[in-house]
Amino acid sequence: MISNLDYVTLQQIWWIICSVVGAIFLFLMFVQGGQTLLWQVAKTDTESALVVNSLGRKWELPFTTLVLFGGALFASFPKFYSTSFGGAYWVWVLILFTFIVQAVSYEYRSKHGNVWGRKTYELFMFINGSVGVLLIGAAVGTFYTGSAFSLNDMNQVTWQYTIAGVNLRGLEAAFSLFNLSLGLFLVFNARVLGALYLLNSIDLGAFSALEQRLRKAVLTNFICALPFLLYVVVSVLLRKGFGVDEEGVVSMVSFKYFFNLLALPHLLLLLLGGIGLVIWGVLLGALKDSYKGIWPAGLGTVFVGLCVLCLPAFNGTAFYPSTYDLQSSLTIYNASSSRYTLMVMTYVALFIPVLLAYVTYLWKQMDSKKLSTEDALDHEAY
pLDDT of residue 360: 82
pLDDT of res. 78: 92
Better-scored residue on pLDDT, 382 or 296: 296
Within a domain: 299: no
In this prediction, residue 336 has a pLDDT band, given cuts at 50, 70 and 90, of very high
Can you give the C-alpha Rg of the chain in angstroms? 21
Residue 297 lies in a domain: no
Cα separation, 130 vs 169, whole angstroms = 21
CA distance 267 to 252: 22
Answer yes or no: is 114 within a domain: yes
Report pLDDT digits (tens) over 102-126.
Answer: 999 998 888 777 778 889 999 999 9
Domain boundaries, position 44: 2-228+317-376
Q: Does residue 276 lie within any of the structural domains?
A: no
Q: Is 44 inside a domain boundary?
A: yes
Give the number of domains in the chain.
1
Q: How confident is the prediction for the chain on average, in pLDDT? A: 90
Residue 330 reports pLDDT greater than 60: yes
Closest alpha carbon to 321 in 229, 262, 257:
257
Residue 377 banded pLDDT, cuts 50, 70, 90? low
- Which residue(s) pair with 250 in the sheet? 244
As a whole number, mean pLDDT of residues 20-45 equals: 95
Question: Is 283 within the bounds of a domain?
Answer: no
CA distance 234 to 266: 19
User: What integer is the mean pLDDT of 351-369?
Assistant: 79
Residue 340 lies in a domain: yes
Q: Is residue 334 part of a domain?
A: yes
Q: Is 369 left (phi over 0), alpha (psi -120 to 50) or beta?
A: beta
**Alpha-carbon gap, residue 163 to 161, rounded angstroms:** 7
CA distance linking residue 25 with residue 31, whole number of Å: 10
Per DSSP, 361 falls in state: H
Q: What is the mean pLDDT of residues 15-28?
A: 95
Whether 287 shows a pLDDT value over 80: the answer reads yes
Name the band, by pLDDT with cuts 50, 70 and 90, for residue 4: confident
